[in-house]
C-alpha cells in the first residue's frame, strides 16, 4: 500500500473551487513583478552603475606610489657643484590609516615615539590627503638609522607604514652661496592651493628664492611612480604599471665659486654685499650678501624649530639679498651727474668751477664733505676729490628734470632684468610725480642739489650700481646682469645710453684719477693692473636714529680694457667708501688677476693707511 493511501489523505475530495484561479493568477503576477524589479535593479547596477563600482573596487585594491623626481643640479661656470641632491629615507602611510582599528592605541603612539612627530600632526597630514586619495602620504623625511631600525623592529604593529628613498636638496657650500642658490621647502598650504593645478602634490618641495625659485620649472622634473595591487590588508601583491620619474635639467651659472669664496672673505662680518660682474655682457661672477643663512636648514625634515626661527626671526634679516635692496648711492652717483651735465649742453668738457666749504640753495645750506672745498676743479678733478659743491652747481643749473632723465638712462628706477624678479627692488627715482604725490609740492632746486650727489630720496640697488659702472667700462652701454650661463638673450642685450664718446671718456678719465690721486689711492698698487673706480659714503641712520653711514666702492680693471667690475657695499659701516669698501673690492681684484696672470702682479709688503675719504 502506498503511503498516500495508508494515510487516508487521498480519499477526501476538496469541494472548494471558487477563487482558485484568481489566487494562481495573482501569485504569478506578483512573482513576475518582483522578478522584474530585481532584474531592472541588477541591470541598472551592472550597466549604468557598473563602471562606477568597478572604479571603486579598483581604488580599493590599487594604490599609487609616487616617485619624486630628482631635482636638477646647479654648477658654477667651471663645473663645480653648487646645488645637488642626496637620498635619505622617508616614511609614508596609506591614506586613512588613522581610521583603522589599532591606530589610537598602537600605531599612532608608536609612530610619534619613533619619529618625534605629534600624533595630531600625522593625522592632520592624512586628513589633508583625504579618503579618496590613491597615493601614499609622506609623514616624515630624512629619518636616521636608529629610526629605520625601530620602524623595522615594530613593523608587525605598523601594517600601513612604508619606508621609501627620495631625493632631498643639498647645498655643499651652505652659507657662502645661500643668496644665489636660495632654498627649497615643502609647499605651504597657500602655495599648494595655487600650485595643485600645475601637478604639485602635498609634501612637494618648491624653490622659495634665488636660483631655486627663478628656475623652478627647469630644475623640478616630472613625477613618476608605480601602480600596485594590494590585498585586503593593504599589502602589495604585484606591480601593475610603472612610470619613471623624469629628472630636472641641470643648469650652469656664470658664477665663479672660487671668486665667490674670496668675495665672502672680503665682506667678512659686515652687513652688505660684494658683486663681481663682466662689464661687457652682465654675467655675474660673484654675489655675496651678509648676514647669510644655511639653506640646508630648510631641506631637512628634522630641523628644529630653533634652527628655523634663527633664520626667519633674525633681526638682521639674513634672507634679504642686499645686492637687490635699495639704498642711497651717495657719491658713486656722480657718474650720472657728470653725464647729465655734459649732455645738457650747459657745461663744456673744459668746464672749471670753484668749490666751497658750503653753498646755499633756496635758503638751505649744503656742505662740502671736507668742510673747506678744494679750490677750482674741472670734471676729472671733481670726480677724483668727490667734491660735493662742484656737483651741487651742476645739479642746480641743469635742473631735476634733466637729472631724472639721465638717471633713468642708466637704468635706475626699474628692475635690471636679473633673474630674481621677486627679490629685486626697483629702487626709487624722485621725479616730479613722486615729489608732488608724497611731498605735496613741486620739485625745488634743493631736490636737484641733493640728487646730484646721490642723496635725498634717490634709492638704488648695488646691482643697479654695478650696471651704472658698466656703462663707462664698456663705452656707453647698459647691460643686463644675469646668472644663467646659457642666457643668450641677456648676454647679447645692450642698450645705449646715448652719451657722446667724449662724455664717456671724461667719465673714464675721472674714475681713473680717483685711483691715482683721489679718494681711492689705496687701490693704486702693483698687485693689480691700473684700475678705475669711485667711492661713496651715504649718510644713513639706524632704526634707533644713530648715524651710521653706508660705504660704497665700484670699479673695474684694467682701466683701458676692463675684464671685471666689482661693487662693494657695507651697510651702516660707520666708515667711508675709501677706507671700508675699497679694500674689499681690491681683495677680489687681486685674486682674479693673480689667478689669471700668475706672477705678473705682485703683492706689496706693506700697505699705507688712508685718511678718511668719500
Same domain, yes or no: 201 and 86: yes
Higher-confidence position of 242 and 42: 242
| pLDDT at res. 180 | 98
| pLDDT at res. 205 | 87
What confidence category does residue 301 fall into, taking pLDDT thresholds of 50, 70 and 90?
Answer: low
Q: What is the 3-state secondary structure (H, E, C) of 108-128?
A: HHHHHHHHCCCHHHHHHHHHH
Higher-confidence position of 136 and 281: 281
Residue 603 covered by a domain: no
| pLDDT at res. 131 | 66
Residue 14 covered by a domain: no
Mean pLDDT of 242-250: 86
* CATH code for the domain of 581: 3.40.710.10
Same domain, yes or no: 570 and 480: yes
Residue 262 covered by a domain: no
Residue 564 covered by a domain: yes
Q: 136-187, pLDDT tens digit by residue?
A: 788 888 888 999 999 999 888 887 788 888 778 999 999 999 999 999 988 8
**Interatomic CA distance for residues 373 and 383, integer angstroms:** 13
Q: 530-563, pLDDT tens digit by residue?
A: 999 999 999 888 877 888 899 999 999 999 999 9
Residue 293 covered by a domain: no
Residue 294 has pLDDT above 60, yes or no: yes
| pLDDT at res. 3 | 34
**Could you count the other beta carbons within 10 Å of the beta carbon of residue 602?**
10
Q: Quickly list DSSP for 329-363.
A: -GGGGHHHHHHHHHHTTSS-TT-EE---SEEEETT
Higher-confidence position of 609 and 402: 402
The residue assigned the cell 609616487 is 66
Same domain, yes or no: 547 and 410: yes
Return all residues near 400 (Cβ < 8 A) that are at least 6 apart: 431, 432, 443, 447, 448, 451
Q: How many folded domains does the chain comprise?
A: 2
Residue 613 covered by a domain: no
Residue where a domain stops, chosen among 219, 252, 285: 252
Q: Cα-flanking dihedrals φ and ψ of residue 302, to 5°?
A: -90, 20
| pLDDT at res. 378 | 98
Query: Which contacts qualify for 432-441: CB closer than 8 Å, 24 or more apart?
Result: 432/400, 432/401, 432/404
Query: Which contacts qualify for 487-490: CB closer than 8 Å, 24 or more apart?
Result: 487/419, 490/281, 490/282, 490/417
Cα separations (Å) of 174 from 169, 182, 296, 298, 424?
12, 10, 7, 11, 22
Which of 11-25, 122-136, 175-189, 245-259 has the lowest average pLDDT?
Answer: 11-25
Residue where a domain stops, chosen among 252, 271, 288: 252
Residue 291 covered by a domain: no
Higher-confidence position of 4 and 280: 280
Same domain, yes or no: 86 and 185: yes
Q: Please provide the average confidence, as pLDDT, over all residues in the chain.
A: 87
What confidence category does residue 609 fall into, taking pLDDT thresholds of 50, 70 and 90?
Answer: very low
Q: Residue 525, SS3?
A: coil
Q: 95-152, pLDDT tens digit by residue?
A: 777 777 888 888 889 999 999 999 898 888 888 877 666 677 888 888 889 999 999 9
Mean pLDDT of 557-582: 96
Q: 444-489, pLDDT tens digit by residue?
A: 999 999 999 999 999 999 999 999 999 999 999 999 999 999 988 8
Residue 500 covered by a domain: yes
Residue 233 has pLDDT above 70, yes or no: no
**Interatomic CA distance for residues 476 and 495, integer angstroms:** 9
Same domain, yes or no: 341 and 244: no
| pLDDT at res. 192 | 86
Same domain, yes or no: 390 and 510: yes
Q: What percent of the chain has pLDDT over 70?
A: 85
* CATH code for the domain of 129: 3.90.1310.10
Residue 610 has pLDDT above 50, yes or no: no
| pLDDT at res. 155 | 86
Q: 31-80, pLDDT tens digit by residue?
A: 666 666 566 555 555 555 555 545 445 545 676 667 778 899 999 999 99
| pLDDT at res. 9 | 36
Higher-confidence position of 40 and 334: 334
Same domain, yes or no: 96 and 227: yes
Residue 11 has pLDDT above 60, yes or no: no
Residue 1 has pLDDT above 60, yes or no: no
Determine the structural domain holding residue 350 and report its residue range: 321-596
Judged on CB neighbours under 10 Å (0-12, 13-18, 19+), 599 is exposed
Residue where a domain stops, chosen among 252, 269, 284: 252
Same domain, yes or no: 207 and 338: no
Amino acid at each position: 500500500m502506498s503511503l498516500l493511501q495508508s494515510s487516508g489523505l487521498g480519499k477526501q475530495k476538496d469541494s472548494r473551487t471558487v477563487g482558485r484561479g484568481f489566487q494562481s493568477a495573482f501569485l504569478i503576477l506578483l512573482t513576475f513583478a518582483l522578478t522584474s524589479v530585481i532584474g531592472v535593479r541588477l541591470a541598472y547596477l551592472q550597466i549604468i552603475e557598473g563602471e562606477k563600482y568597478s572604479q571603486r573596487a579598483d581604488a580599493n585594491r590599487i594604490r599609487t606610489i609616487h616617485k619624486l623626481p630628482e631635482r636638477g643640479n646647479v654648477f658654477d661656470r667651471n663645473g663645480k657643484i653648487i646645488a645637488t641632491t642626496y637620498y635619505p629615507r622617508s616614511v609614508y602611510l596609506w591614506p586613512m590609516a588613522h581610521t583603522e582599528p589599532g591606530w589610537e592605541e598602537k600605531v599612532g603612539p608608536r609612530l610619534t615615539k619613533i619619529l618625534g612627530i605629534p600624533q595630531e600632526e600625522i593625522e592632520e597630514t592624512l586628513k589633508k590627503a583625504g579618503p579618496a586619495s590613491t597615493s601614499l602620504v609622506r609623514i616624515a623625511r630624512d629619518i636616521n638609522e636608529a629610526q629605520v631600525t625601530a620602524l623595522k623592529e615594530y613593523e608587525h604593529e605598523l601594517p600601513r607604514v612604508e619606508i621609501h628613498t627620495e631625493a632631498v636638496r643639498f647645498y655643499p657650500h651652505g652659507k657662502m652661496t645661500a643668496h644665489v642658490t636660495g632654498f627649497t621647502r615643502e609647499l605651504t598650504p597657500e602655495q599648494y592651493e595655487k600650485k595643485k593645478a600645475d601637478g604639485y602634490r602635498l609634501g612637494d618641495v618648491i624653490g622659495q628664492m634665488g636660483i631655486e625659485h627663478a628656475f623652478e620649472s627647469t630644475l623640478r622634473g616630472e613625477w613618476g611612480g608605480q601602480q600596485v595591487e594590494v590585498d585586503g590588508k593593504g599589502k602589495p601583491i604585484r606591480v601593475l604599471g610603472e612610470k619613471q620619474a623624469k629628472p630636472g635639467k641641470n643648469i650652469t651659472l656664470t658664477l665663479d665659486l672660487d671668486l665667490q669664496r674670496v668675495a665672502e672673505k672680503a665682506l667678512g662680518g659686515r652687513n652688505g654685499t660684494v658683486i663681481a660682474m663682466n662689464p661687457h655682457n652682465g654675467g655675474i661672477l660673484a654675489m655675496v650678501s651678509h648676514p647669510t643663512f644655511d639653506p640646508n636648514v630648510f631641506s631637512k625634515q628634522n630641523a628644529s624649530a630653533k634652527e628655523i626661527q634663527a633664520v626667519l626671526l633674525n633681526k638682521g634679516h639674513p634672507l634679504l639679498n642686499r645686492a637687490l635692496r635699495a639704498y642711497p648711492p651717495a657719491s658713486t652717483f656722480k657718474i650720472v651727474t657728470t653725464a647729465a651735465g655734459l649732455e645738457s649742453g650747459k657745461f663744456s668738457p673744459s668746464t672749471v668751477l670753484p668749490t666751497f666749504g658750503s653753498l646755499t640753495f633756496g635758503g638751505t645750506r649744503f656742505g662740502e664733505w671736507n668742510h673747506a672745498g678744494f679750490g677750482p676743479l674741472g670734471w676729472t678733478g671733481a670726480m677724483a676729490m668727490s667734491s660735493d659743491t662742484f656737483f651741487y652747481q651742476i645739479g642746480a643749473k641743469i635742473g631735476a628734470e634733466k637729472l631724472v632723465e639721465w638717471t633713468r638712462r642708466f637704468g635706475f628706477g626699474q628692475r635690471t632684468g636679473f633673474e630674481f624678479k621677486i627679490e629685486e627692488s626697483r629702487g626709487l627715482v624722485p621725479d616730479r610725480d613722486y615729489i608732488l604725490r608724497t611731498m605735496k609740492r613741486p620739485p625745488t632746486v634743493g631736490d636737484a642739489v641733493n640728487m646730484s650727489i646721490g642723496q635725498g630720496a634717490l634709492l638704488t640697488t648695488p646691482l643697479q650700481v654695478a650696471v651704472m659702472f658698466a656703462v663707462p667700462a664698456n663705452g656707453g652701454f647698459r647691460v643686463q646682469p644675469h646668472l644663467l650661463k646659457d642666457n643668450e638673450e641677456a648676454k647679447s642685450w645692450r642698450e645705449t645710453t646715448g652719451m657722446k664718446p667724449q662724455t664717456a671718456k671724461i667719465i673714464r678719465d675721472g674714475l681713473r684719477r680717483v685711483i691715482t690721486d683721489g679718494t681711492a689711492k689705496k687701490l693704486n698698487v702693483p698687485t693689480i693692473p691700473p684700475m678705475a673706480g669711485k667711492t661713496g659714503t651715504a649718510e644713513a641712520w639706524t632704526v634707533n636714529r644713530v648715524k651710521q653711514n653706508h660705504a660704497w666702492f665700484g670699479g673695474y680693471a684694467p682701466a683701458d680694457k676692463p675684464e671685471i667690475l666689482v661693487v662693494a657695499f657695507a651697510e651702516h659701516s660707520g666708515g667711508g667708501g675709501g677706507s671700508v669698501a675699497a679694500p674689499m673690492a681690491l681683495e677680489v681684484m687681486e685674486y682674479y688677476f693673480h689667478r689669471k696672470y700668475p706672477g705678473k702682479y705682485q703683492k706689496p709688503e706693506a700697505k699705507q693707511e688712508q685718511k678718511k675719504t668719500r
